[in-house]
Amino acid sequence: MGAVQASSGSTVRASGQPSGDVSFLFTDIEGSTVRWDRDAAAMQQAVRRHDHIMRSVIAAHHGHVFKTIGDAFCAVFWHAADGLHAALEAQRALAIEDFSSVEGVRVRMALHVGASDERDGDYFGPTLNRVARLLAIGHGGQVLLSAAAAAKASDALPGTTLRDLGEHRLKDLSSPEHVFQLVAPDLTAEFPKLRSLSILDNNLPIQLSSLVGREQDVAEIKALVEHSRLVTLCGAGGIGKTRCAMQVGADLLDGYSDGVWFVDLASLGNASLVPNVVAAVFDVQEPSNQQMLDALIAFFKNKELLVILDNCEHVIADVSKTADALLKACPKLRILATSRESLAIGGESVYRMPSLAVPADSHGLTAAAALAYGAIALFDVRARAANARFQLSDDNAPVIAEICRRLDGIALAIELAAARIKVLSPRQLSEKLDERFRLLTGGNRAALPRQQTMRALIDWSYDLLSESEQRLFRYFSIFAGAFTLELATAVCADDSIADFEMLDLLSSLVDKSLLHPEYAADETRYRLLESTRQYAREKLLERGEYESIVRRHADVYVAFADKLDDSWDSTPDREWICKAEPEMDNWRAAIAWAVSANGDTRVVQELALAKVWQELAHAEGRRYVRMALDAVAADTPPLLVAELELSASKIDSIFGQFKSALASAERALAIFQQLPDPELCVANAQLCAGRALLFLSRIEEGEALLQAALDVFRKTHSQKTMGSALSALGAARIMQDDIPEARSLLMAAGAIYKSTGADGRLPAVLSLLAEAEFRAGDVEAALRVAGEALEAHRAIKSGPNVLNVLYNMAAYLTALARFEEARSHAHQALKLAREEQAEADVAFTLQHLAAIDALKPDNGADGRMRAARLIGFVDARLASLDSAREYTEQVEYDRVQAALRDTLQPDQLDTLIDEGRHWNEERAVSEAMAI
């Protein structure tokens, strides 16, 4: 049901809540914190009565309370007159209520009218920020109105008047607001001066746009300023340090009797003049017999004030000297500085400005959920300012989230990008981000040149670096994602940068907000923000340094992969994965270079062997192995060829392609047997070949190879591979209905995995034990054990490895006629199988869904016909892959065939199956998802 008109400029949602141009009434209790501290029990009772009055009055005047924050109320009305009437009645009711137990309750109120976005019962937009700031300048018992609200409600209440309080700058630092006060005969009419920027001492500049997405940061900085006399906001250029500092100053203005003062050092070229720039703000003249710094000290000596020193990085030494002297001599002075590096003096508290929040995963992100992230909220506000027709929606929210993520949540970059919404759609904007330095231009012409484009912003930081810092900054652009100090040293140390200099230079780049640390329990990693990395890469190419550094990067990561692989068998899975997973982007980058025109195919071949692909990224690993094998030449070392064939066999087995897995394993075995000292290599090839043979129904041959491999693993103490051989032998015993021996072998494999910390392999053992129970005829037990396997997979977040368990559970649930649960598990499995490009697993999962259609008693003829077509598709797919059904799938398949023969005519069944054989995967999946 759509929205309907309520009044001029506002609409009413199907939910009953107004949207569009509406009236907001915000209220809160003045001094409530003190009262809570004094007598919490009495205050609890008082607030309960206050809340009852507020809710009753708001509802009686057609308002809706959409949010409460402590004792603060946020209400929305269709008409300003209703909001004003509610405020008046609430003040009257509160005035006669007995709140003497807490020494009275005085509530301040503010009414404002403007546009807003209503999403999921909440409201968003600058109008809400404005009414909150209007409320903040008032006093308990006072009702304030903006000019917009006054214009709408001026004649609404006979017997009352609106007193003109003049123009006031609110603490959002935007343009002044004309403020009015409601005056009624039975309400207090006289109050102290409003707490606005127009009344309190300050020189905070007017801001033409609102601060978005920084509420948490502002709160944390305010707390720091209240406890530390020197706070420095450090962060990358364009991240929003200045705007946050000014907002903090505005919010704290009440607490400084001599005001809050802003000193802009951005354009200062002569560092020695820092004291003079500060003095100019206060009109302090330099006496003939004193240094300017001494004159400042004399001026500040007994003053209680907060000074904001903005853009300190290019004059950092002199700012540090000036701040240190002032703070030591002036006990009531506090300083809030912004810089790309800290001042590094005693007593300094450093606040590292984070990027605006972006979602880690934008898939399926809704507009309402997106607005909870500061980066997207900022993009939304600035895009609507640039193009009034722009609207954040469920359709474009994931695209905008990706734009903000690729811009690293940097405020200036997001604002520059949002401005392009005038001429580009969000998707077009996303596609052009690779040209970001041409795209992200055209900033505020009143800003300094370095703040008008992304390139100029980073130029400023780069030019302040020493030559060695510039070189290392360029070198770091070769890394994809984050990196460790150890690997950075291995890649970047050369004739111009010695090993022992790395830590100091890296630390300096961190201090200057060009390199961002990511702290973990046992290791710190470092990364360049993406825009900064692209800039540094351009500089690397300009200096002709790219080819040498990219080669070093590839060689170092090949060596690191080899080192990790060597430790695999003796390292617990979680520890090994924690070391491997963070480096995946850098291995990908090395491979991307290796296949380029100036690359080296040997790097592809060596990195394709990395166990990380077999453990964490099966589809990707298969692609790299195929690329590596395609690049085999006459001079490729035989050992490397054999290892690639072995890797291909392992990955093909994961995807259920056992015929090709066997062929690769046999080729590897033949090469290994010709090499010196081949025993362990031969055993690994026998393990792969033996496993493939089992699933090609050559069970005795497979068992013989597996037993031979196991004997070698026992002799060489290869624990994890020993567990794999025992597990495969357990599968062989299941296939031959020797369930007791299968259980014994599988339990032995599980014991090895537990003792070696191979947590990632335990779920596979449980899956095989579940299959053993199913083969023994105990479906309930099979389902129970499979459930344990599923929980084990999820506990270790094993991702694609959970696929086999999910579709087996679908089969068990179908056998138990628990069709709804079976459908849920099968749909999850199908999604994973497609993500992993696991063609055989897609086929098995489609069969399980077809079984639900065929076996569910209340299914009609359409369901049976669909099942027949799906079976036809599955038969054709498995035949094309040379994949056979395992026991569970075969038992289910036979049941489905019997059910279809019972309900369909033979000719009709054959026709339907033949139709399904000609379906493509998209058609089959589409039909199956309707089950």
Q: What is the pLDDT of residues 434-487, one digit of tens each?
A: 776 666 665 454 454 554 567 877 888 888 899 999 999 999 999 998 999 999
Indicate the SS3 state at residue 114: strand
Q: Which residue has the tokens 């489905």?
A: 896
User: Tokens for 284?
Assistant: 């302090």
CA dihedral for 559, 564, 565, 570, sign (positive or negative): positive
Cα(438)–Cα(533) distance, integer angstroms: 15
Residue 11 has pLDDT above 50, yes or no: no
Cα(382)–Cα(387) distance, integer angstroms: 9
pLDDT by residue (tens digit) across 701-756? Answer: 999 999 999 999 999 888 999 999 999 999 999 999 999 999 999 999 999 999 99
Read off the pLDDT of each residue in 355-363 and give the average, rounded to a whole number. Answer: 90
Q: What angle do CA 626, 629, 634 make, to 5 degrees?
A: 165
For 892, phi then psi, to 5°, come to -65, -45
CATH of domain 4-183: 3.30.70.1230
pLDDT above 70 as % of the chain: 95
Closest C-alpha to 691, from 719, 725, 668 = 725
Question: Looking at the DSSP assignment, which residues form a beta bridge with residue 351?
Answer: 233
| Helix (H) and strand (E) counts in the chain | 42, 18
At 373 the pLDDT is: 94
Cα(104)–Cα(97) distance, integer angstroms: 9
How far apart, in Å, are the Cα atoms of 605 and each of 399, 564, 610, 627?
Answer: 35, 16, 9, 8
Closest C-alpha to 478, from 563, 407, 539, 410 = 539
- Rounded (10°) angle between helices 485-492 and 546-567: 140
Instruction: Give the CATH superfamily of 594-775.
Output: Tetratricopeptide repeat domain (1.25.40.10)
Neighbour tally for 2: CB within 10 Å: 6
Neighbour tally for 779: CB within 10 Å: 17
CATH of domain 215-352: 3.40.50.300
At 228 the pLDDT is: 95
Instruction: Please tell me the least confidently modeled range out of 85-89, 253-257, 647-651.
Output: 253-257
Residue 183 has pLDDT above 90, yes or no: yes
pLDDT by residue (tens digit) across 278-327? Answer: 998 998 887 777 789 999 999 999 999 999 999 999 899 999 999 999 99
Neighbour tally for 677: CB within 10 Å: 7
CA dihedral for 804, 805, 810, 813, sign (positive or negative): positive
How far apart, in Å, are the Cα atoms of 564 and each of 569, 605, 660?
Answer: 10, 16, 28
Neighbour tally for 828: CB within 10 Å: 18
At 12 the pLDDT is: 39
At 797 the pLDDT is: 63
Cα(879)–Cα(873) distance, integer angstroms: 10
Cα(147)–Cα(151) distance, integer angstroms: 6
Cα(274)–Cα(318) distance, integer angstroms: 7
At 91 the pLDDT is: 95
For 804, phi then psi, to 5°, come to -60, -40
Instruction: List the chain domain ranges.
Output: 4-183, 215-352, 367-454, 465-544, 594-775, 808-929
Mean pLDDT of the residues in the chain: 89
Residue 379 has pLDDT above 90, yes or no: yes
At 477 the pLDDT is: 95
The one-character DSSP state at 192 is P
Q: Work out the widest C-alpha separation in the chain, in whole angstroms.
A: 113
Indicate the SS3 state at residue 21: strand
Alpha-helix residue ranges (DSSP H) falling in 568-637: 573-580, 584-594, 601-608, 611-616, 618-630
Residue 562 has pLDDT above 80, yes or no: yes
Amino acid at 575: E
Q: Which residue has the tokens 């195919």?
A: 601
The model's pTM: 0.70
Alpha-helix residue ranges (DSSP H) falling in 609-738: 611-616, 618-630, 638-654, 658-672, 679-695, 699-716, 719-735
**What is the Rg, in whole angstroms, of the alpha carbon atoms belonging to the chain?**
35
At 5 the pLDDT is: 32
Q: Please answer whether residues 703 and 732 qualify as being in contact, where contact means their C-beta atoms are separated by less than 8 angstroms.
A: yes
Cα(400)–Cα(406) distance, integer angstroms: 10
CATH of domain 465-544: 1.10.10.10
User: Tokens for 776?
Assistant: 């023994």
Residue 490 has pLDDT above 70, yes or no: yes
Question: Looking at the DSSP assignment, which residues form a beta bridge with residue 63?
Answer: 77
